[in-house]
């Protein structure tokens, strides 16, 4: 195993009361891809900040390799003091970094670099921050919720870029599909301590559940052992004559362990309040259109949505998902066409900006609308504190102002209020933002089992696959198409092309062979079966395997050299140079493999 570039050992952090971190550990070596997972409020972001050097732990050791470069992506980037996005991104480059990579990343992320930071949307600010931390190609990338505010095309692009990157990556995300594609190891932060699984996130949940079951069995066994020891102390023959101080001490230790054990965090108990059944036809849209400033957002779109349908809307930021949603629910008038809503509709809406939240309002006041101490859920009157517990809020938070809540807590609070209201049509705009995975699981179950109709906008591919019955996606120029099934089904119907693929197709110029007339010699270059690899392509296809083998041998030699535990002590400068050389060789190998794969696919296509 390669020596660590970063190592946190025995990290303790407390702000008074129960420590947030109680002996947490985290390490990363060259090439690692680590998913850092845990409940909202478990301390994941804080642990990442400690790794980045932004927070000092109360106790514990932090080792950062002297020659290693580290870049940290915060959840909220600070762009104050920069005149343009390009200036902000280039501020992250070192003296020896390539400035052209900053330009490449900005263009790939849909930015020119001339934008003023103050005028950026949330998604644009996130893309600029990603360009800044990725441009130097650091040894370690620390990414806190990198997919927040990104559309699906940007998420898919980011996945591919991180897979190709030579940097070690530690990331926090609630996007399951993203974690499954990127991670090779998983670190679980739970009740202040960490546990590591040397497998990707796809294997995490089964492993976590087994650990929790084992923990529960151990606590049960400990409780029974305490009962037996207490019985011996009270009624044992020896105990009546003389106390056995050793066994008494062991009993006290067992009691302390049992009392101090922090059980697993609770699980939210979400349930939507039902309303009277709506009519069979919920929404009928006929040839609707909407334009802003001459740009067509929706053009000639028709749909019939019936009771029980669960419709997902996907597309790039700015494509018009929210506009289409507002048109379908009657909140916005179309420029042309008509929208007819069914009878007996009771609509509950969650907007992506959480507009209903007043930062100075208390949680209890928000949930009850200021009407006493109770809420009515499914016709049953409940005390507001009892209802708050269903959504993992503590009783003492009832008088807490909204501004003191985390992003995940705000998301749960808005859901709690919406689900308390009777409805038969749920309209959810980005409902998964800031929710932890356990809460996401419950929301998935709620949406999938909802008795009414659901319209939702989401960039979470896994959530879409598990919940919706059809997907509406943009095709460009204001056209939208309805695909049966979830997001993966939509991709299959599109021939496997992702949203990023389709954007690239629209940006790419026509191939020269399609626009060039046949040459005078009667060449069949323009015919599908007559194309051939160029001499340069054939030469590369033949020679690349040998070159890749040579680079692989060089990488193995460097890894063996770095595995020597005394290498760094003996030659720190040589150690740093070897690390840098290893990263370069890995990047060269990745580029060669990608080039060879593209040429091989081209050869198969031409010969087939």
pLDDT attached to residue 265: 56
* Greatest mean pLDDT range, 253-257, 394-398, 530-534, 552-556: 394-398
Work out the burial of residue 138: count CB atoms within 10 Å of its CB; fewer than 13 is exposed, 13-18 middle, 19 or more buried: buried
- For 80, residues 6+ apart whose C-beta sits below 8 A from its C-beta are 117
How far from 22 is each of 25, 192, 266, 285, CA to CA, in Å? Answer: 9, 5, 20, 56
Across the strands, what pairs with 428? Answer: 350, 456
How far from 533 is each of 510, 515, 601, CA to CA, in Å? Answer: 19, 19, 11
pLDDT attached to residue 520: 36
If you write DSSP's letter for every residue of 187-240 in order, what string do you get? EEEETTEEEEESS-GGGHHHHHHHHHHHHHHHHHHHHHHHHHHHHHHHH-HHHH
* Element (DSSP H or E) covering residue 86: helix 85-90
Q: Which residue has the tokens 């049966």?
A: 484
Q: Is the dihedral of CA 569, 570, 575, 577 positive or negative?
A: positive
Give the 3-state secondary structure of residue 608: coil
Give 87 or 443, the one with higher predicted confidence: 87
Average pLDDT, the chain: 82
Give 270 or 290, the one with higher predicted confidence: 290
On whether the CB atoms of residues 165 and 141 are closer than 8 A, the answer is yes
Q: Phi, psi at residue 475, to the nearest 5°?
A: -115, 0
Q: Read off the pLDDT band of 595 (50, 70, 90).
A: confident
Domain boundaries, the chain: 1-69+139-153+165-199, 79-137, 216-260, 281-504, 528-607
Q: Is the pLDDT of residue 53 over 90?
A: yes
- DSSP structure class, residue 549: H
Give the C-alpha separation, 48 to 146, whole Å. Answer: 13
Q: Read off the pLDDT band of 515 (50, 70, 90).
A: very low
How far from 301 is each of 246, 297, 469, 489, 506, CA to CA, in Å? Answer: 80, 10, 19, 21, 21
Burial code (b: 16+ CB inside 10 Å, e: under 16) for 149-163 equals: bbbbbbbbbbbeebe
Same fold, 1-69+139-153+165-199 and 528-607: no
Q: Residue 363: which of 348, 375, 345, 351 has the closest Cα? A: 375
Q: Read off the pLDDT band of 270 (50, 70, 90).
A: low
- Span 95-104, mean pLDDT? 90
CATH superfamily of 281-504: P-loop containing nucleotide triphosphate hydrolases (3.40.50.300)
The token pair at 477 is 């120029």
The token pair at 533 is 């690899």
Question: Of the given ranges (44-48, 474-478, 595-599), which has the lowest mean pLDDT?
Answer: 595-599
Q: Residue 223: which of 173, 259, 186, 169 has the closest Cα? A: 259
On whether the CB atoms of residues 126 and 81 are closer than 8 A, the answer is no
* Element (DSSP H or E) covering residue 123: helix 122-134
Work out the burial of residue 254: count CB atoms within 10 Å of its CB; fewer than 13 is exposed, 13-18 middle, 19 or more buried: middle
Per-residue pLDDT of 359-378, as tens digits, reads 889 999 988 888 888 888 87
- Give the angle subtended at the CA of 21 by the CAs of 19 and 27, to the nearest 5°: 170
Work out the burial of residue 333: count CB atoms within 10 Å of its CB; fewer than 13 is exposed, 13-18 middle, 19 or more buried: exposed
Q: Phi, psi at residue 9, to the nearest 5°?
A: -135, 125
Q: Phi, psi at residue 532, to the nearest 5°?
A: -135, 160
CATH superfamily of 528-607: Valyl-tRNA synthetase, C-terminal domain (1.10.287.380)
Other C-beta atoms lying within 10 Å of the C-beta of residue 216: 12
If you write DSSP's letter for every residue of 423-459 in order, what string do you get? BSEEEEESTTTT--HHHHHHHHHHHHT-SSEEEEE--
Q: Is the pLDDT of residue 500 over 70?
A: no
Give 355 or 586, the one with higher predicted confidence: 586
The token pair at 19 is 């420590």
Q: Which residue has the tokens 């006493």?
A: 372
Q: Is the pLDDT of residue 357 over 80?
A: no
Q: Phi, psi at residue 455, to the nearest 5°?
A: -120, 125
Give the C-alpha separation, 212 to 261, whole Å. Answer: 13
1-69+139-153+165-199 folds as Rossmann fold (3.40.50)
* Element (DSSP H or E) covering residue 364: helix 363-368
Q: Which residue has the tokens 């680590």?
A: 34
- Span 117-122, mean pLDDT? 86
Per-residue pLDDT of 518-569, as tens digits, reads 333 333 333 334 456 776 677 677 778 877 887 787 888 878 788 777 777 7
């Amino acid at each position: 195993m390669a020596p660590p570039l970063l190592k946190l050992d025995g990290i303790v952090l407390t702000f008074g009361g129960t420590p947030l971190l109680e002996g947490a550990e985290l390490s990363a070596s060259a090439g690692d891809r680590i998913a850092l997972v845990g409940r909202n409020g478990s301390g994941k972001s804080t642990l990442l900040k400690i790794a980045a050097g932004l927070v000092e732990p109360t106790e514990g050791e932090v080792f950062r390799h002297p020659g290693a470069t580290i870049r940290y992506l915060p959840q909220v980037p600070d762009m104050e003091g920069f005149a343009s996005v390009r200036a902000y991104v280039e501020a992250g480059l070192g003296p020896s970094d390539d400035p052209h990579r900053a330009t490449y990343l900005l263009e790939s992320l849909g930015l020119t670099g001339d934008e003023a930071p103050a005028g950026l949307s949330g998604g644009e600010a996130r893309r600029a921050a990603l360009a800044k931390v990725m441009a130097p190609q650091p040894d370690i990338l620390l990414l806190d919720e990198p997919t927040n505010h990104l559309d699906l095309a940007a998420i898919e692009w980011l996945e591919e870029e991180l897979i190709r990157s030579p940097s070690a990556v530690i990331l926090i995300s609630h996007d399951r599909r993203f974690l499954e594609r990127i991670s090779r190891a998983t670190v679980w932060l739970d009740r202040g301590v960490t546990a590591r699984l040397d497998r990707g996130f796809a294997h995490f949940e089964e492993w976590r559940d087994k650990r929790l079951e084992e923990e529960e069995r151990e606590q049960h066994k400990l409780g029974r052992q305490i009962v037996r020891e207490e019985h011996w102390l009270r009624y044992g023959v020896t105990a009546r004559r003389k106390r056995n101080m050793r066994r008494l001490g062991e009993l006290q230790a067992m009691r302390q362990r049992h009392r101090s054990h922090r059980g697993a965090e609770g699980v939210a108990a979400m349930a939507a309040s039902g309303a009277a059944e709506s009519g069979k036809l919920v929404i009928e849209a006929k040839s609707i259109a909407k334009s802003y400033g001459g740009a067509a957002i929706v053009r000639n779109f028709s749909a019939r949505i019936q009771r029980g349908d669960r419709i997902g809307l996907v597309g790039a930021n700015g494509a018009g998902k929210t506009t289409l949603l507002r048109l379908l629910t009657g909140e916005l008038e179309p420029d042309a066409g008509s929208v007819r809503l069914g009878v007996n509709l009771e609509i509950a809406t969650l907007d992506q900006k959480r507009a209903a939240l007043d930062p100075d309002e208390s949680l209890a006041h928000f949930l009850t609308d200021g009407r006493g101490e109770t809420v009515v859920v499914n016709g049953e009157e409940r005390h507001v504190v009892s209802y708050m517990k269903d959504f993992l809020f503590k009783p003492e938070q009832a008088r807490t102002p909204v501004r003191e809540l985390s992003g995940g807590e705000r998301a749960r609070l808005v859901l709690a209020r919406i689900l308390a209201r009777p409805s038969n049509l749920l309209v959810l705009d980005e409902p998964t933002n800031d929710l932890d995975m356990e809460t996401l699981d419950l929301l998935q179950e709620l949406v999938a089992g909802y008795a009414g109709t659901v319209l939702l906008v989401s960039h979470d591919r896994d959530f879409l696959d598990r919940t919706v019955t059809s997907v509406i996606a943009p095709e460009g120029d204001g056209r939208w198409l309805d695909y049966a099934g979830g997001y993966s089904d939509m991709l299959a119907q599109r021939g496997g092309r992702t949203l990023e693929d389709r954007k690239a197709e629209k940006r790419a110029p026509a191939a020269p062979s399609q626009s060039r007339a046949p040459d005078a010699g009667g060449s069949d270059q323009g015919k599908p079966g007559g194309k051939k690899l160029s001499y340069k392509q054939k030469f590369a296809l033949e020679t690349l395997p040998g070159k890749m083998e040579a680079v692989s041998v060089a990488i193995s030699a460097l890894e063996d050299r770095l595995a020597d535990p005394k290498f760094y002590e003996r030659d720190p400068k040589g150690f740093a140079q070897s690390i840098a050389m290893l990263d370069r060789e890995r990047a060269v190998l990745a580029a060669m493999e990608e080039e060879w794969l593209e040429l091989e696919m081209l050869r198969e296509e031409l010969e087939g």
